[in-house]
């Protein structure tokens, strides 16, 4: 585990904040180590006879993992070296390219500490998916649903971690209609590579439920869905050419520049190819 501290930005922070959340600390789950996490760690260290410095090093990690054994549930669902080798062979890609993409695009891991796939629920997509099914979204909007159903994108309702499942469940409860069920599941991004549910049909899944079931199985299924997405959207060619800019733009949209995805991919590739 990496040593983490206030203002750290790393996928390991996501796991840290998940663990703190399950231990009863009210922290926002993301890749950023904020002041809420800093205060929670200091409280945890105080209660567990550790040096109270707010730094999550080996001793604090050990105590956290000892206190929360649930994280072990998803360990049997992780990608292996062989999975990446087979992926590289399937798409005729350099293994170093596949490892670089896996490191940068997989957001660290595909499962929560309780074994459920990582998701992010998008209320504006839910609005669109309902309309696509002939349902007027405005008829379902009320004070209790405004955080899961809205017509324009916003991140202010994101909860992160298991909180996203609470949002999904709230969306499902808006109506018992099967169309609402499908629209809700299509409105979340799933797994290690955060593939939106509404892509299920173009990726060859029989239904949204079939897609979701696969996402629960293993990170290997997340990788397969990712490969299908790259193939359907003609992005494999950019990886073969090692054109990181075109690949990052095709996968992440124009926002790739802000997050420097292309630069991160190239740097990771050089690391693995050496």
Please give the pLDDT value at position 212: 97
* 87 has a pLDDT exceeding 90: yes
Give 179: exposed, middle or buried? Use CB within 10 Å, 0-12, 13-18, 19+.
Answer: middle
Give pLDDT tens digits for 4-62: 999 999 989 998 998 998 888 999 999 999 999 999 999 999 999 999 999 999 999 99
Contact between 10 and 2 (Cβ < 8 Å): yes
Please give the pLDDT value at position 109: 80
Please give the pLDDT value at position 264: 94
Contact between 84 and 102 (Cβ < 8 Å): yes
Q: Which residue has the higher pLDDT, 149 or 68?
A: 149
Please give the pLDDT value at position 7: 95
Please give the pLDDT value at position 77: 87
The residue-averaged pLDDT of 256-269 equals 92
**Cα 217 from Cα 194, distance rounded (Å):** 15
Task: State the pTM of this model.
Answer: 0.77
> pLDDT class for 255, splitting at 50, 70, 90?
confident
11-67 to CATH, choices 1.10.101.10, 3.20.170.30, 3.90.100.10, 1.10.20.60: 1.10.101.10
Question: DSSP secondary-structure letter at 115?
Answer: S
Return the closest-CA partner of residue 103 out of 268, 263, 226.
268
**What is the domain partition of the chain in residue ranges?**
11-67
Return the closest-CA partner of residue 130 out of 144, 145, 117.
145
Contact between 37 and 29 (Cβ < 8 Å): no
Please give the pLDDT value at position 114: 81
Q: Which of 22-26, 46-50, 72-76, 81-85 has the lowest mean pLDDT?
A: 72-76
**Cα 91 from Cα 236, distance rounded (Å):** 7
* 253 has a pLDDT exceeding 70: yes
The CA radius of gyration of the chain, in Å to the nearest whole number, is 20
Please give the pLDDT value at position 71: 58
**Cα 165 from Cα 167, distance rounded (Å):** 5
Contact between 45 and 67 (Cβ < 8 Å): no
Give pLDDT tens digits for 174-229: 999 999 999 999 999 999 999 999 999 999 999 999 999 999 999 999 999 999 99
Residues in contact with 4: Cβ distance below 8 Å, sequence separation at least 6, in sequence order: 10, 12, 13, 16, 33, 55, 56
Give pLDDT tens digits for 109-126: 889 878 899 999 999 999
**Cα 162 from Cα 200, distance rounded (Å):** 22
Count CB neighbours of 215 within 10 A: 25
Count CB neighbours of 135 within 10 A: 18
The residue-averaged pLDDT of 135-139 equals 96
């Amino acid at each position: 585990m990496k040593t983490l501290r206030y203002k750290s930005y790393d996928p390991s922070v996501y796991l840290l904040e998940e663990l703190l959340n399950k231990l009863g600390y009210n922290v926002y789950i993301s890749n950023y180590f904020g002041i809420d996490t800093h205060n929670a760690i200091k409280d945890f260290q105080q209660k567990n006879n550790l040096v109270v410095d707010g730094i999550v090093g080996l001793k604090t990690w050990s105590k956290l993992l000892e206190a929360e054994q649930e994280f072990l549930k998803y360990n049997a669902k992780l990608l292996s070296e062989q999975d990446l080798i087979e992926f590289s062979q399937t798409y005729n890609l350099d293994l170093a390219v596949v490892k670089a993409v896996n490191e940068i695009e997989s957001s660290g891991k595909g499962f929560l500490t309780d074994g459920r796939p990582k998701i992010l629920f998008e209320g504006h997509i839910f609005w669109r998916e309902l309309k696509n099914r002939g349902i007027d979204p405005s008829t379902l909007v009320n004070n209790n649903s405004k955080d899961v159903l809205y017509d324009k994108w916003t991140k202010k309702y994101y909860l992160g971690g298991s909180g996203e499942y609470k949002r999904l469940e709230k969306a499902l409860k808006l109506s018992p209609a099967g169309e609402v069920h499908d629209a809700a599941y299509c409105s979340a991004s799933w797994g290690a590579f955060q593939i939106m549910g509404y892509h299920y049909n173009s990726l060859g899944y029989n239904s949204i439920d079939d897609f979701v079931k696969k996402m629960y199985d293993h990170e290997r299924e997340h990788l397969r869905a990712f490969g299908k997405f790259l193939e359907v959207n003609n992005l494999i060619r950019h990886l073969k050419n090692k054109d990181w800019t075109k690949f990052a733009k095709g996968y992440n949209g124009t926002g790739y520049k802000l997050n420097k995805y292309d630069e991160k991919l190239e740097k990771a590739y050089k690391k693995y190819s050496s």
